[in-house]
Chains A and B, each alone.
Chain A
Amino acid sequence: MRGWLKTIGSLVIILGLALPGLTQSSKSITISATISPVEDLSVSISRIEGSNWYPNQTSIDFGTLSYDITNNIFRANCYYAVDVGVSGNVSDWIITHSVSSIKNAAGTDSLDNNINVSFNQQLDDTTANEIGYYSYAQSNRSFNKSQISPGWLRIYYGIATGSGDASGVESITTAKPAGTYTGTITLTLTPQ
Chain B
Amino acid sequence: MKRGIIICGILLFIPLFSFSFNLRIDTPKIKLKVKGGETITGSIKVENPSSEKIEVKIYLEDFLYTSPYDGAKQFFAPGTTEFSCSSWINFSPQEIVLPPFGKRRVNYSIKIPSEIEGGRYAVLFFETSLGEIEEEREGANIVILGRIGTLFFLEAKDSIKRADLENLKVEEGTIKGDFVNRSNVVIVSRGNFYIMDERGMVLDRGKIQDIYTFPNDKVPISIKPSKDLPSGRYTLISTFDLEEGDVLVKEIDFLKDSLGDIRILQVRD
A: which residues have CB within 8 A of B?
A: 36-45, 55-65, 76, 82-85, 88, 90-94, 96, 98, 102, 111, 115, 124-125, 142, 144, 152, 157, 159, 180-192
B146 and A41 within 8 A (CB): yes
Instruction: Name the one of B49, B75, B131, B141 contacting A188, with C-beta atoms under 8 angstroms.
Output: B75
By a CB distance below 8 angstroms, the chain B residues around A39 are 24-26, 28, 148
Report how far A40 CA is from B46 CA in the complex, Å: 10
Instruction: Name the one of A44, A142, A144, A157 contacting B20, with C-beta atoms under 8 angstroms.
Output: A44
Q: Closest CB of chain B to A24's CB: distance in Å?
A: 28
- Judge whether B11 is part of the interface by a CB distance below 8 angstroms: no
By a CB distance below 8 angstroms, the chain A residues around B28 are 37, 39, 88, 90-91, 93, 190-191
With A189-B148, A192-B212 in contact, do A125 and B71 touch (Cβ < 8 Å)?
Answer: no
By a CB distance below 8 angstroms, the chain B residues around A56 are 18, 20
B: which residues have CB within 8 A of A?
A: 15-29, 49-50, 63, 70-73, 75, 123, 125, 130-133, 137-149, 151, 210, 212
Instruction: Name the one of B22, B142, B146 contacting A157, with C-beta atoms under 8 angstroms.
Output: B142
A191 and B151 within 8 A (CB): yes
A187 and B146 within 8 A (CB): yes
B73 and A82 within 8 A (CB): no
A185 and B70 within 8 A (CB): no
Name 20 A/B residue pairs within 8 A (Cβ), A-sorted: A38-B24, A38-B25, A40-B24, A40-B49, A41-B147, A41-B148, A42-B50, A55-B17, A58-B20, A61-B137, A65-B140, A85-B15, A94-B72, A115-B140, A144-B72, A180-B138, A182-B142, A186-B145, A188-B148, A191-B151
B148 and A180 within 8 A (CB): no
By a CB distance below 8 angstroms, the chain B residues around A41 are 22-24, 146-148
By a CB distance below 8 angstroms, the chain B residues around A102 are 140, 142
Instruction: Name the one of A88, A93, A124, A182 contacting B133, with C-beta atoms under 8 angstroms.
Output: A182
By a CB distance below 8 angstroms, the chain A residues around B19 are 42-44, 83, 85
Report how far A61 CA is from B19 CA in the complex, Å: 18
Instruction: Name the one of A76, A159, A185, A191 contacting B29, with C-beta atoms under 8 angstroms.
Output: A191
With A57-B20, A61-B137 in contact, do A37 and B73 touch (Cβ < 8 Å)?
Answer: no
A43 and B147 within 8 A (CB): no
Q: Closest CB of chain B to A43's CB: distance in Å?
A: 5
Instruction: Name the one of A98, A124, A181, A184 contacting B140, with C-beta atoms under 8 angstroms.
Output: A181
B140 and A59 within 8 A (CB): no
Q: Which residue of B lies closest to A146 (CB)?
A: B70
Among A42, A56, A185, find the residue whose CB has the most chain B CB atoms closer than 10 A: A42
By a CB distance below 8 angstroms, the chain B residues around A38 are 24-26
With A59-B143, A187-B145 in contact, do A45 and B20 touch (Cβ < 8 Å)?
Answer: yes
Report how far A59 CA is from B132 CA in the complex, Å: 7
By a CB distance below 8 angstroms, the chain A residues around B146 are 41, 43, 84, 186-189
With A36-B26, A43-B19, A58-B131 in contact, do A192 and B71 touch (Cβ < 8 Å)?
Answer: yes
B144 and A60 within 8 A (CB): yes
Report how far A37 CA is from B143 CA in the complex, Å: 30
B151 and A190 within 8 A (CB): yes
5 closest A-B pairs by beta carbon, nearest first, are: A58-B131, A192-B71, A142-B72, A42-B19, A60-B142
Report how far A110 CA is from B142 CA in the complex, Å: 12
By a CB distance below 8 angstroms, the chain B residues around A144 are 70-72
Report how far A96 CA is from B120 CA in the complex, Å: 22
By a CB distance below 8 angstroms, the chain A residues around B21 are 42-44
Instruction: Name the one of A44, A59, A192 contacting B142, with C-beta atoms under 8 angstroms.
Output: A59
A187 and B143 within 8 A (CB): no
Q: Which residue of A lies closest to B17 (CB)?
A: A83
With A39-B25, A142-B72 in contact, do A62 and B140 touch (Cβ < 8 Å)?
Answer: yes
A187 and B144 within 8 A (CB): yes
Instruction: Name the one of A42, A82, A189 contacting B149, with C-beta atoms under 8 angstroms.
Output: A189
Q: Closest CB of chain B to A122's CB: distance in Å?
A: 9
